[in-house]
Amino acid sequence: MCQCDKKFFRVRVRRGNYSAFNGYKFTSSDYSALHCLRCGDEWRTKAEYVRKTPDLREAEYEAARDLRQINQIYYVQETIY
Cβ neighbours of residue 9 closer than 8 Å, sequence gap 6 or more: 34, 35, 36, 37, 49, 53
Report the distance separating Cα 80 and Cα 44, nearest Å.
Answer: 35
Cβ-based nearer residue to Zn ion, 3 or 77: 3
Cβ-based nearer residue to Zn ion, 5 or 28: 5
Min CB(55)–Zn ion separation in Å = 17
Q: Which residues bind Zn ion (CB under 5 A)?
A: 2, 4, 36, 38-39, 41
Q: Which phi and psi (to 5°) does residue 31 adopt?
A: -95, 145
Cβ-based nearer residue to Zn ion, 5 or 21: 5
Min CB(2)–Zn ion separation in Å = 3
- Strands lying side by side in the sheet with 9-13: 9-13, 32-36, 42-45
Min CB(30)–Zn ion separation in Å = 23
